[in-house]
Structure 1
């Protein structure tokens, strides 16, 4: 069996690829990482048969719908989640097969009402989503969460597995990649040792955490299994290494842009004073404030790629949308704008163009 653990640094999400006999499944894919996942599947000679989400995520958008568009894979998620676009609404006791292997579905609600954990057929590994993290667990204060329910789920469905069973969580924020049932039984400060449901509930009810930053976008999107509202591009451009954000905007990383500077048009959509401030501007950039962009589009070459730039990447993202709607086919936004370009130490000009 082929096994790979993949990571999205923006949301600290782990995605898991399991393959056997030419078939594969992906657990908790991330929308922006779909090109990476497809490339890996191709290199390993695997056909993606299904994506499995552990729950309706609040901190990132799933890549399930986008992967189905590209590879024909089936979307599997808990029936209790109420998510639309799912091909396989899962319930406790179901099995998801790939090649000669299978994952057994265990309902583990409590973080959300629709949480699932996936246990490999020989019980050598399990994928716990946010129900059980390494020395922790997911919060229980939204999406019909319940500390009492989570305590029961973890003890009955996860910590009841053999002690040597390896546990792979949905996230880790400290760089730890794997744990085991035996470790979590003994060392998990929230759920292990002599902790009882009263201890756990008292702890969880007093966390007082802020909501995830992406929650307002991620939850509605994930209730559609990652399908964007309206039309969204899915084919990756070939003129530069780009990342498609869920908003439908293609982004280019600063290092990639540095390699492409002589091949693209740089359109800086800040105001004139910002163009020569302490952040400076990219060499060869054309200053076209966002407010004037629509009326000045005739100045751009429609055949040459355009990279839009601003201070943080917000205004230039809007510029990218406007340019795309106007028929420019090769458009990207500089990820993080001039702030990130300067932090990463790339060269700038400071004199007026």
Structure 2
């Protein structure tokens, strides 16, 4: 049974999707329950060019089916970073959707068809996503910002009322703090933020909300570092499988 908060969140997502559709942007938010990962589909309704952000291997067939049902041309499958909690779906999608190219930060250390960095644009039809370097969770973390700055896809750098951990994969609390404050919190307050994960059933937040309500990132840099250095979280269950596989991001042996 949906709680009032869940109903409000779902209503908000639907409302935003309707607004996006009115300006010719197709937008879908999809969920993978084991790793609690969100995958995002964006497309130009006129040209049918599309991009997927943070696909998961186990749901690649679902994503490819939706792309085909909507009559889209999947040009890119992009990761926000080299994930430790699931295997990316880019390799499978490249086989299911010929012409699709994998994308990741050049600082990730991962293989891909296209490596990007701060300020690069991924274009699909009349739209584009700007890559903003937001390291701290990993060296290769990127936040993807829609060209009108109405939406940003923050990966693990910024979660809803939280952030990615910093205790492995080149993690650094001070680097993450500076990344979020300089690259995400400088976006318009109304910008909708979509994370790579959520573990509480929430789906979207805004810059204004996180600047005001994030229990970690509203603290000073020193306080934030102390919090992050004392989380004592368990080791990700899939890290030993996921990281080696994701270092071959989208490049599969035939």
2:144 maps to which residue? 118
1:77 and 1:204 mapped to 2: Cα distance?
26
2:108 and 2:158 mapped to 1: Cα distance?
18
| 1:54 lines up with 2:53 in the alignment | no
**Pairing partner for 2:199 from 164, 173, 195:** 173
Residue 227 (structure 1) shift: 5.2
Tell me, yes or no, if the aligned pair for 1:61 and 1:226 is still in contact at 8 Å. no
| 1:211 lines up with 2:238 in the alignment | no
1:43 and 1:54 mapped to 2: Cα distance?
25
Runs of 4+ in 1 over 4 A off after TM superposition: none
1:13 maps to which residue? 37
Tell me, yes or no, if the aligned pair for 2:78 and 2:102 is still in contact at 8 Å. yes
| 1:98 lines up with 2:124 in the alignment | yes
**How do 1:127-138 residues align onto structure 2 when only pairs under 5 Å count?**
127-138=153-164
1:191 and 1:161 mapped to 2: Cα distance?
15
Query: Scaled by the length of structure 1, what TM-score is found?
Result: 0.63
**Pairing partner for 1:77 from 104, 124, 130:** 104
* CA RMSD across the alignment: 1.0
Gaps of 5+ in 1: 232-353
Q: How many residues align?
A: 227
Gaps of 5+ in 2: 1-24
Residue 165 (structure 1) shift: 0.2
Residue 65 (structure 1) shift: 1.2
Tell me, yes or no, if the aligned pair for 1:221 and 1:227 is still in contact at 8 Å. no
Q: Secondary structure at the match of 2:69?
A: helix
Tell me, yes or no, if the aligned pair for 2:113 and 2:251 is still in contact at 8 Å. no
Tell me, yes or no, if the aligned pair for 2:94 and 2:250 is still in contact at 8 Å. no
2:225 and 2:33 mapped to 1: Cα distance?
30
State which structure, 1 or 2, has the greater radius of gyration over its C-alpha atoms: 1
Q: Secondary structure at the match of 1:50?
A: strand
Query: Scaled by the length of structure 2, what TM-score is found?
Result: 0.88
1:173-211 CA distance string (max 9 Å, x none) = 11100000000000000002xx11000000001111111
| 1:63 lines up with 2:89 in the alignment | yes
